[in-house]
Amino acid sequence: MQATWLITDYPGNFYPNHLGQKAYKKGEVIYRLRGITVSHQQILLEHDVDTCHADSVYYHHELDRKRDLFEKKLISPQQWNQIQKQYTIVLANLKKANGSLKYFKLMTAYRAPFDGSLSQVQYPEGDYVPANSRIGYFWNPDSLKLVIPWYDANPALSTGQKVVLVLEDTVKVHGEIQYIDSSVNPASGSRAVWITLDSIPRGFYPEKPVSYSLVLNNTRSLAVPENAIIRDQDRYWVVRAVHGKYFPVQVGEVRFQNHWSFINDDLKAGDMVLTRGAYEIYHQQSPLRYQIQD
């Protein structure tokens, strides 16, 4: 993923452009460092640039003057070589001073290296930040992926497959399988599966562990409590209650999961079925219709 910790090279007071999950465009200022230490350091660096620039102007004139003298054979080759070396050193010093000032300005008005968001900010606005401190974690949500272990030896998964995930038991997101590791981790017995998410919920960021449920072949289905299902040989029934009367209703495919039974039949959402006493009512006189008082 595209992600990096933002680490200060200079001390100063921290002033973010904005906080939270708001996205930054590449080149937009993420934060600035201000205060007395920043101003003092900038004055020193600008003074170095001015000094090196003055030296370069002086030695440039000297170079022109001694070139003329050398061409007229009024100075030795050694003297001519010496002034050239001095001028080269002065230009290198000017380049270094300009580079230091430019780097200082970049690091005290830090701009986004790519489109992304800032998470895990370590300092409140206006707080003093020492040099070599972590400001926050900058990352590109478009490159974030969920990495999960998969333990099935013959996974019914494929790259490009669309899946539905429930994160932290409440947040539903859609994703696409990007990569399936061909090798099994000998320590865990699992293989890694990478899933890119269509959207990144608030509060989720790189390296954060999350609980998840992976939904494959997502289909809508009615569900009733498991103890409402009555098995009669190879068929399944439920007892439906309508206006004080009971009706045995045969249901189709039954899948049990987490004490619920998912069925496909003619029942409608909201129909009332018995869970207590359903077995007895069905098996004692299933062809009859019952009144509630019975």
Token pair 């809508």 is found at 220
Segment 226-245 shows an average pLDDT of 81
* CB within 8 Å of 133: residues ≥ 6 apart: 7, 8, 122, 123
Residue 292's pLDDT band, with cuts at 50, 70 and 90, is low
Pick the CATH number of 222-291 from 2.40.420.20, 3.40.30.10, 3.30.360.10, 2.60.40.10: 2.40.420.20
Domain spans, the chain: 3-139, 144-215, 222-291
Tens digits of residue pLDDT in 118-141: 888 899 999 999 999 999 888 887
* Greater model confidence, 161 or 38: 38
* The 134-139 sheet, strands edge to edge: 3-7, 134-139, 117-119
State the DSSP H helix or E strand holding residue 148, giving kind and residue range, or none if neither: strand 145-150
Predicted confidence band at 28 (pLDDT cuts at 50, 70, 90)?
very high
Averaged pLDDT score across all residues of the chain: 84
Element (H or E) spanning 58, and its range?
A: helix 36-71
What the block records as the tokens of 276 is 């207590």
Q: Quote the CA–CA distance of 186 and 34 in Å, as a whole number.
A: 51
pTM above 0.85, yes or no: no
